[in-house]
């Protein structure tokens, strides 16, 4: 089952923000949202996974300064 990876960036104030989303491929023929999904006609709704799995979060990097929101005092 494919899923979305949320790439996050952490700041020294403790805030973590979403930088971008990225789809992680499962390369399964029986996954309707995969690029490897079966192209032949088949009973897709019965046989295949129709949706993405739970999103995972990955903190790509932790910066040693505070975020804009904290810096501007908003
Ligand atoms: Zn998949
Ligand atoms: Zn299918
Ligand atoms: Zn902050």
Distance CA(40)–CA(45), nearest Å, equals 14
Mean pLDDT, the chain, integer: 96
Q: pLDDT at position 44, please?
A: 98
Q: Give the distance (Å) from ligand 1 centre to CA of residue 59.
A: 23
Q: Give the distance (Å) from ligand 1 centre to CA of residue 27.
A: 6
Q: pLDDT at position 55, please?
A: 96
Maximal C-alpha separation, the chain: 57
Burial class (CB in 10 A: 0-12, 13-18, 19+), 2: buried
Q: What is the 3-state secondary structure (H, E, C) of the chain?
A: CCEEEEEEEECCCCCEEEEEEEEECCCCCCECCCCCCCCCCCCHHHHCECCCEEEEEEEEEECCCCCHHHHCCC
Q: pLDDT at position 74, please?
A: 65
Q: Give the distance (Å) from ligand 2 centre to CA of residue 25.
A: 15
Question: pLDDT tens across 30-55, in order?
Answer: 999 999 999 999 999 999 999 999 99
Q: Give the distance (Å) from ligand 1 centre to CA of residue 60.
A: 23
């Amino acid at each position: 089952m494919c899923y979305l990876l949320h790439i996050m960036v952490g700041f020294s104030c403790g805030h973590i923000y979403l930088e971008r989303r990225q789809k992680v491929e499962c390369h399964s023929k029986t996954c309707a949202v995969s690029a490897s999904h079966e192209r032949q006609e088949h009973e897709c709704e019965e046989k295949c996974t129709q949706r993405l799995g739970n999103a995972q979060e990955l903190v790509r990097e932790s910066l040693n300064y505070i975020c804009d929101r904290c810096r501007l005092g908003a």
